[in-house]
Amino acid sequence: MATLQLLNNITHKDLRVQSHYSATFGDNISSVLVFPTEFDALHKEYPVLFRRHAEQGIQAIALLGLCAGENLYLNEHYPQPPVAGSWMARYVPGLLAKGPFMIGYQQQSGASEAVLHVDMDHPRITHPISDTEKDTGKPVFLPKGGESDYLQHIVAILNRLHLGQQEAKAFYAELDRLNLLTPVNLAITLSNGDKLEIQGHETICKDTFAALPADTLAMLHQKGWLAYVYAIQSSLHNLSWLIDMKNALEHSRS
């Protein structure tokens, strides 16, 4: 159960947050919701697919693993980690990177104003019980009350997500209107012979996209959406990296 508090530099002057990634913090998930404003960074690291949610409609996800409850980007899974750091990619999807913070709204002079909230029950929150533990995690505020570099980084992530949420509905609706989405079922054979299937997702249909008239392509380009389509198509090449990581993980367990 989340305990949300309006973030301020008095109540939370000593607040620190663990910024590494671990199954301990709930990061061991096979996919995460992502937004169009992230596609440029995501397509270099993750397969990006779509799913249809009964209530939420079309959503984009970054694939993190090939089995339920598996995040292959967590370095802690590997006996001999191939890269430094706790996450095996240069960009971490925003919903994971933001940690315990989120944008909320409060009424100011009759208008709704975006404000920053923190979930004090989030597992990344450090609750100091001694002077030594006080130094663990990233400080949210500076000693004199200013925002730390970490908090400024979080604010930038939240702004990116906020803009992405606003753009997502219109972009996905346009993809649907143009019949650009097609079901994709991934059949994977690992090096040890195990067979995996990932179903229930959609991607851009290459043939439908190639047949779009020039004026439609111009409209997508004008809105900035053509680049998103190319990024989504390009992202599927990252599936081979996921398979390589899965093979390495299974080999380490054998």
Is the pLDDT score of 46 beyond 80?
yes
Q: In the beta sheet, which residues pair with residue 6?
A: 117
Task: Take residue 126 and report the two structure tokens written for it.
Answer: 């450090």
| pLDDT 10s digits, 195-235 | 999 999 999 999 999 999 999 999 999 999 999 999 999 99
Is the pLDDT score of 193 beyond 80?
yes
Three state DSSP letters for 102-131: EEEEEEECCEEEEEEEEECCCCCEECCCCC
Angle at which helices 225-235 and 214-223 cross, to 10°: 90
Which H or E run includes 246?
Answer: helix 239-253
DSSP H helices, 89-198, are 94-97, 149-177
Is the separation of the CB atoms in 97 and 62 below 8 Å? no
pLDDT of residue 73: 96
Is the separation of the CB atoms in 117 and 12 below 8 Å? no
Q: In the beta sheet, which residues pair with residue 247?
A: none
Is the pLDDT score of 145 beyond 60?
yes
Is the pLDDT score of 179 beyond 60?
yes
Supply the mean pLDDT for the chain.
92
Q: What is the DSSP letter of 220?
A: H
Alpha-carbon distance of 80 to 252, in angstroms, equals 9
| pLDDT 10s digits, 57-113 | 999 999 999 999 999 999 998 887 666 679 999 999 999 999 999 998 776 666 667
Give the number of residues written for the chain: 254
pLDDT of residue 77: 86
Q: What is the DSSP letter of 55?
A: T
Report in angstroms the alpha-carbon separations of 247 from 193, 210, 218.
Answer: 10, 34, 42
Q: Name the nearest CA neighbour of 118 among 151, 94, 143.
A: 151
Alpha-carbon distance of 91 to 34, in angstroms, equals 12
Supply the pTM of this predicted model.
0.91
